Structure 1
Amino acid sequence: MADEKTVLVFGATGQQGGAVAKALLAEGWLVRALVRDPAGTKAKALATAGIDLCPGDFSDHASIAAAMSDVHGVFSVQPSSGQGPVHGITDEQELRYGKAIADLSAAYGVRHLVYTSVAAAGKGVTGLGHFDMKTGIEEHVRSLGIRSTIVRPVTFMEILMLPGMGLDHGTYSFLMRPDQAMQFIAVDDIGRIVATIFSGPDRFAGRTIEIAGDTVTGRGLQDAFSRAAGRTITYNRFPDSLLAQNPLLGRLAELVDDGRCAGAVDIPALREEFGKLLSLEQWLSGAGQPLFKSALEASGGTVALR
């Protein structure tokens, strides 16, 4: 399926796009990436790996159209409007960029569009723009009548390693209660799943697929982190006072409690379709190990999740 076919990957210098680009290359696809600065360090690394770089950005439709020339597929991901004013974009920009990529894919005859959304999308208004914009993009993609697949990842394992969660003090705080389950996925598994989808367009066309690699309770995090650290790590949910003071964290906790951010993926069935998916402990002993080590050694206040 990959012989002489090209996939245009958006966000290839970031987590999801980078994982998708790597997985596609491993499967023998030709990969093209839209990059703002081809001379940047991350872009140069992509070029070294054999990825064709096309200069441009989300606001420049002409550059996107040029990058889409003669491609078989497009992987669509936008900077999340939940990343804050430094690294992110506005809700309206995320919605506009996601719709524009879908429209241009239709206009230029792209044969398979894969859009990456979020597990909370499509389950009613959440009140968080970076979730609700993805619902809007999903609806627009479906309305175009093109061959498309939507994936909805749960929370990334990589997010667990953000600084300020307390690991450097022998504690850890997150969104679920100690006995409450939440699902997670390694970014590399997103890449492998998307590569499989591109290899089976007829099989996956028209589907919306929720994806996760492991289900873990708060106490499960405590146990996994303690084993990985070689010392006791104590888990507690974020304090009620913090959830009350921080509207974003408070709403995320509510969405975990009502299930929309907790995940409800049938992981054994997903493994049957896509093969091996990493558990949290497997990730901690592999790709996540350096991130975990850095988090153990970091210092700082409680992070405001983005």
Structure 2
Amino acid sequence: MDKNPQSQEARNLKDAGAVLVKGDLEDVDVLKDTFKKVDGLYLVLPGVWVSSKETDEKEAELGIQTIKLAEEQGIEFVLYSSVMASDKQDRFRPKFKFTIEQYLLESKLQGAVIRPASFMENLLLPSFGLGEGKFINPLPEETAISWVTTQDIGTFARIIFQNHSDFNGKTIDFGGQLFTPRQVLELLEKKLDQPIEFVQVPLEMLYQQSEIFAKLVEMVAKEGYDPIDDKLISSWLPKLTSFEEWLDDTGIEKIRGLQSFGNL
């Protein structure tokens, strides 16, 4: 589903074999027609970069509205893409992704929840500053978190759909290697053969930008994330892409393509 099927990104998807539908999740009439024609729904809600109580509530409302419609139109299976530690975030985000998870798993639908770890591709966003030769880090330096490629998420989502009866009712934390921010920095410097300035964002500054994000960082610092069930994941997908493999395959090339790295 795409708001602009004529865009280059959409045409690339079409060339790769996708069938495009014009519309968005807020267009209920288009969704009704589309849902009558499909058996499964992979629900990924639009990203919000500066969260607030209002954006959280809007996301929860949109997710529940979409799942209700899927239920009404007889969708066979729904896979909802959430976020790691959504249940812990429920303490300070009472109406957010965990609300959607609960609604799905308590509905009459067959469904499952996947909670991906941090995307390696996020490093390409301006918020990390790699285009300016910086590594801007909001997390505690000593805290290791899991990382995963979006390609591996897509592969595992396909596996879930192909074996949906085995995953019905399950919530799966999905991620790979654990890296501290300093370890990520060292790997980037090694692969780029270039020094990168490490910029630690103070918690006070995070609170000025987004109280919700600051509370998330505090939670990660104090509690970390729950361990990932590597045995479950490897039983279906024996090998995930390592950080080094992602950098070698596509990551470094894309980072070099960022403005300040264009001459490396």
Shorter-chain TM-score category? 0.7 to 0.9
1:241 positional shift: 5.1
Aligned residue in 2 for 1:285? 248
1:49 and 2:16 correspond = yes
Structure 1: state its 5+ residue gaps.
Answer: 1-33, 300-306
Task: Calculate the TM-score normalised by the size of structure 1.
Answer: 0.75
- 1:103-124 Cα distance to aligned partner (Å, 9 max, x none): 1221122111100001021225
Q: Which of 82, 87, 97 in structure 2 is aligned with 1:117?
A: 82
Change (3 A) 1:241 1:295: farther
Change (3 A) 1:54 1:171: closer
1:296 positional shift: 7.5
Change (3 A) 1:235 1:97: same
Q: Does the residue aligned with 2:30 lie in a helix, a strand or coil?
A: helix
In 2, the alpha carbon distance for the partners of 1:294 and 1:210 equals 32
1:259 and 2:226 correspond = no
1:256 positional shift: 2.0
Change (3 A) 1:176 1:60: closer
Q: Which of 23, 28, 33 in structure 2 is aligned with 1:61?
A: 28
Residues 193-208 of structure 1 correspond to what in structure 2 (within 5 A)?
193-208=156-171
Give the RMSD, CA atoms, in angstroms: 2.7
Change (3 A) 1:221 1:156: same
1:201 positional shift: 1.1
Task: Calculate the TM-score normalised by the size of structure 2.
Answer: 0.86
Aligned-pair identity in percent equals: 26
In 1, the alpha carbon distance for the partners of 2:232 and 2:37 equals 35
Structure 2: state its 5+ residue gaps.
Answer: none
In 1, the alpha carbon distance for the partners of 2:201 and 2:228 equals 24
1:226 and 2:193 correspond = no
In 1, the alpha carbon distance for the partners of 2:71 and 2:89 equals 27
- Does structure 1 conserve the Cα–Cα contact (< 8 Å) formed by 2:133 and 2:260? no
Aligned residues between the structures? 259
Residues 24-173 of structure 1 correspond to what in structure 2 (within 5 A)?
34-80=1-47, 82-84=48-50, 90-128=55-93, 132-163=95-126, 165-167=128-130, 171-173=134-136
In 2, the alpha carbon distance for the partners of 1:207 and 1:216 equals 26
In 2, the alpha carbon distance for the partners of 1:258 and 1:232 equals 30
Q: Which has the higher helix share?
A: 2
